[in-house]
Amino acid sequence: MIKIEYIYASLLLHSAKRPINEENLTKVLSASGINVDRTRVKAIVAALSEINIDEVIKSAVTMPVVTAGPAQPQPVEEKKKEEKKEEEKKRVEEESVEGLSALFG
Protein backbone atom coordinates (compact mmCIF):
# COMPACT_ATOMS: atom_id res chain seq x y z
CA MET A 1 0.00 0.00 0.00
CA ILE A 2 1.33 3.40 -0.97
CA LYS A 3 1.21 6.04 1.73
CA ILE A 4 -0.39 9.39 1.02
CA GLU A 5 2.91 11.19 1.63
CA TYR A 6 4.32 9.51 -1.46
CA ILE A 7 1.36 10.74 -3.52
CA TYR A 8 1.75 14.27 -2.16
CA ALA A 9 5.47 14.26 -2.95
CA SER A 10 4.70 13.04 -6.47
CA LEU A 11 2.13 15.79 -6.99
CA LEU A 12 4.59 18.35 -5.66
CA LEU A 13 7.18 17.20 -8.20
CA HIS A 14 4.56 17.27 -10.95
CA SER A 15 3.48 20.78 -9.96
CA ALA A 16 7.11 21.92 -10.01
CA LYS A 17 7.47 20.36 -13.47
CA ARG A 18 10.20 18.04 -12.20
CA PRO A 19 10.45 14.43 -13.33
CA ILE A 20 8.84 11.95 -10.98
CA ASN A 21 11.67 9.48 -10.60
CA GLU A 22 13.16 7.54 -7.70
CA GLU A 23 15.88 10.09 -7.01
CA ASN A 24 13.61 13.16 -6.94
CA LEU A 25 10.87 11.43 -4.98
CA THR A 26 13.39 10.20 -2.40
CA LYS A 27 14.81 13.72 -2.04
CA VAL A 28 11.38 15.28 -1.45
CA LEU A 29 10.36 12.66 1.07
CA SER A 30 13.69 12.83 2.91
CA ALA A 31 13.56 16.63 3.01
CA SER A 32 10.19 16.42 4.72
CA GLY A 33 11.55 14.11 7.41
CA ILE A 34 9.93 10.91 6.18
CA ASN A 35 11.78 7.61 6.53
CA VAL A 36 11.82 6.58 2.88
CA ASP A 37 10.87 3.04 1.87
CA ARG A 38 12.71 2.33 -1.41
CA THR A 39 10.20 -0.35 -2.39
CA ARG A 40 7.32 2.10 -2.13
CA VAL A 41 9.26 4.71 -4.09
CA LYS A 42 9.85 2.22 -6.91
CA ALA A 43 6.21 1.16 -6.87
CA ILE A 44 4.83 4.68 -7.13
CA VAL A 45 7.31 5.73 -9.81
CA ALA A 46 6.34 2.66 -11.85
CA ALA A 47 2.62 3.26 -11.34
CA LEU A 48 2.79 6.95 -12.22
CA SER A 49 4.89 6.36 -15.33
CA GLU A 50 1.76 5.05 -17.07
CA ILE A 51 -0.57 7.82 -15.88
CA ASN A 52 -1.20 11.25 -17.37
CA ILE A 53 -1.47 13.21 -14.13
CA ASP A 54 -2.89 16.31 -15.85
CA GLU A 55 -5.77 14.27 -17.29
CA VAL A 56 -6.46 12.64 -13.94
CA ILE A 57 -6.58 16.03 -12.24
CA LYS A 58 -8.93 17.43 -14.94
CA SER A 59 -11.30 14.48 -14.64
CA ALA A 60 -11.27 14.40 -10.85
CA VAL A 61 -14.57 15.02 -9.15
CA THR A 62 -14.47 18.30 -7.34
CA MET A 63 -16.27 19.16 -4.15
CA PRO A 64 -18.81 21.97 -4.46
CA VAL A 65 -17.76 25.21 -2.86
CA VAL A 66 -19.94 26.06 0.10
CA THR A 67 -20.63 29.72 0.53
CA ALA A 68 -21.83 31.34 3.67
CA GLY A 69 -25.48 32.22 3.55
CA PRO A 70 -28.14 33.15 6.01
CA ALA A 71 -28.06 31.00 9.10
CA GLN A 72 -30.67 28.28 9.06
CA PRO A 73 -32.27 27.14 12.30
CA GLN A 74 -31.02 23.81 13.47
CA PRO A 75 -33.54 20.95 13.44
CA VAL A 76 -33.17 20.64 17.21
CA GLU A 77 -34.04 24.30 17.64
CA GLU A 78 -37.11 23.92 15.45
CA LYS A 79 -38.22 20.89 17.43
CA LYS A 80 -37.85 22.77 20.72
CA LYS A 81 -39.90 25.67 19.35
CA GLU A 82 -42.66 23.30 18.24
CA GLU A 83 -42.66 21.58 21.64
CA LYS A 84 -42.99 24.93 23.41
CA LYS A 85 -45.92 25.87 21.15
CA GLU A 86 -47.63 22.55 21.86
CA GLU A 87 -47.10 22.93 25.61
CA GLU A 88 -48.56 26.44 25.50
CA LYS A 89 -51.55 25.20 23.51
CA LYS A 90 -52.17 22.38 26.03
CA ARG A 91 -51.89 24.80 28.94
CA VAL A 92 -54.43 27.15 27.35
CA GLU A 93 -56.80 24.23 26.72
CA GLU A 94 -56.45 23.00 30.32
CA GLU A 95 -57.20 26.47 31.65
CA SER A 96 -60.26 26.65 29.42
CA VAL A 97 -61.52 23.30 30.72
CA GLU A 98 -60.98 24.43 34.33
CA GLY A 99 -62.97 27.56 33.64
CA LEU A 100 -65.88 25.53 32.29
CA SER A 101 -65.92 23.29 35.37
CA ALA A 102 -66.37 26.36 37.54
CA LEU A 103 -69.61 27.12 35.68
CA PHE A 104 -71.03 23.69 36.45
CA GLY A 105 -69.53 23.06 39.72
pLDDT tens, position by position, 56-102: 888 887 766 666 666 665 677 777 888 888 888 877 776 665 655 55
| Residues 40 and 29 sit within 8 Å (Cβ to Cβ) | no
The count of C-alpha atoms lying within 13 angstroms of the C-alpha of 93, restricted to the half-sphere facing its C-beta, is 6
Q: What percent of the chain has pLDDT over 90?
A: 45
Whether the model clears a pTM of 0.75, i.e. scores above it, the answer is no
Q: What is the pLDDT of residue 39?
A: 94
The number of beta carbons lying within 10 Å of the beta carbon of residue 80 is 12
Delimit the domains of the chain by residue range.
4-59
- One-letter amino acid at 37 equals D
Residue of 59 and 25 predicted with greater confidence? 25
The CATH T-level fold of domain 4-59 is Arc Repressor Mutant, subunit A (1.10.10)
What is the Cα–Cα distance from 68 to 94, expressed in whole angstroms? Answer: 44
